[in-house]
Structure 1
């Protein structure tokens, strides 16, 4: 029982990092060593782009996992208005669809009664229509300290080895209790924070915030930057209701706010040539997950 709870604690810290790399929410994944499945859709209202133009987007994703490994796919569909006014648009819509494939591996173990380790990594491919030259590697690792049964501290580091703007970032978090415990629980840290209140086995309400960064390789004949890259980054804050009608099935509905967002454009050599601010946008989320 203790080992199972520890696995949830350490994976929770890893998931904060995965969120920062643009993976869908897979917080259900530690629940079972058996097969697991997650599907979601989320749509966001139209937001103005700095210096003219606007766009809305819809994201749909699916993931499947077994034991230490998870394979995920996300598709983002864009709808542009007045795209000719967007500062990096040369003709027509800058792009209509962006895709992301992710293969993740996650491991953990014990170093002592109150100290544990976690490690893992992701291979990510973000692309408009061609996978070639689109890969990003995201290793991570760290330690979990458990001074009491209910309190955990996560400390670690993650890297993002990408075609453009590689970075190293900290994993820092304090976790109170488990998300399946009745009452208050949560993780406060960077790059993700979650506070939850569980009413009973059926119902839980939570608020969460995270930082996201996605990098996509543009088409060879892109009017924006042939064989170049677009980086989409910003913060997401949301309020969610989790419904668990049976032990292995969780349904989530929620509302989100995207804010402090930017689009960065790079040529095929990885040199940045445009940075554009994007206004706030409200969105709705629907998600279902099942573990066997």
Structure 2
């Protein structure tokens, strides 16, 4: 059972300047059953408030794993465009025909246009249209060796996210 758990986390530092600019540096990790990945987090953000806070007007962030430009109309409505890096890992069933007890690692980039709606303080609704650029699936056996790489064509998609901040 222990070979089916994956988890991750991140840690970083933010430094705010007098020019409404924030520098971000950190590290993220992802633990798969057979190895640990480390990714750098770095970027700069301009005119962004604290998490869960909205500032009217334009704001932007540039960095890894996400870059976005946003316009906040008021405390309720935001519209933004972003590009982000996606990496997901899934364990296959013990009796999988593809690779018994293996893993599938999916990676790629997603970009889209979204509308955030905050009808009340803890609730946020995000509606968007996006494009999943060409992605790659790496199928691994239970030892972590690559069995097959599969290239997936890009595709248009829609997304709805409900978030409750607590």
| Fold match (TM-score > 0.5) | yes
Per chain length, whose mean CA-contact separation is higher, i.e. which structure has more relative contact order (CA < 8 Å, sep 6+)?
1
Deviations 1:172-210 (A, max 9, x none): 010112251111012210011121101122211001111
Partner of 2:98: 224
Match among 269, 273, 283 for residue 147 of structure 2:
273
TM-score between both structures, scaled by the size of structure 2: 0.88
2:3 aligned counterpart, secondary structure: coil
Q: 1:248 aligns with which of 93, 117, 122?
A: 122
Mapped to 1, the partners of 2:153 and 2:144 lie a distance apart of 25
SS at match of 2:95: coil
**CA deviation after TM superposition for structure 1 residue 165, in Å:** 5.7
Taking only aligned residues, the RMSD between alpha carbons, in angstroms, comes to 1.8
1:235 aligns with 2:105: no
Report what 2:40 is aligned to. Answer: 170
Alignment match of 1:284 (pick from 155, 158, 166): 158
The aligned length equals 162
Give 2:133's aligned residue. Answer: 259
The residue that corresponds to 2:21 in the other structure is 151
Q: Which moved more, 1:274-283 or 1:140-149?
A: 140-149
Aligned counterparts of 2:28 and 2:159: Cα–Cα separation in 1: 27
**The structure with more helix, counted as a fraction of residues:** 1
**Ranges in structure 1 where 5+ consecutive residues have no aligned partner:** 1-130
Structure 2 distance, partners of 1:165, 1:239, is 35
TM-score (norm 1): 0.52
SS of the residue 1:133 aligns to: helix
Matched with 1:34 is: none
- Distance in 1 (alpha carbons) for counterparts of 2:46 and 2:163: 24
Write out per-residue CA displacement over residues 205-259 of structure 1, whole angstroms, 9 at most, x where no aligned residue: 0011111111111111100011111111111111101122233322221101101
Query: 1:162-201 to 2 correspondence within 5 Å?
Result: 162-164=32-34, 166-178=36-48, 180-201=54-75
Larger strand proportion of the pair: 2
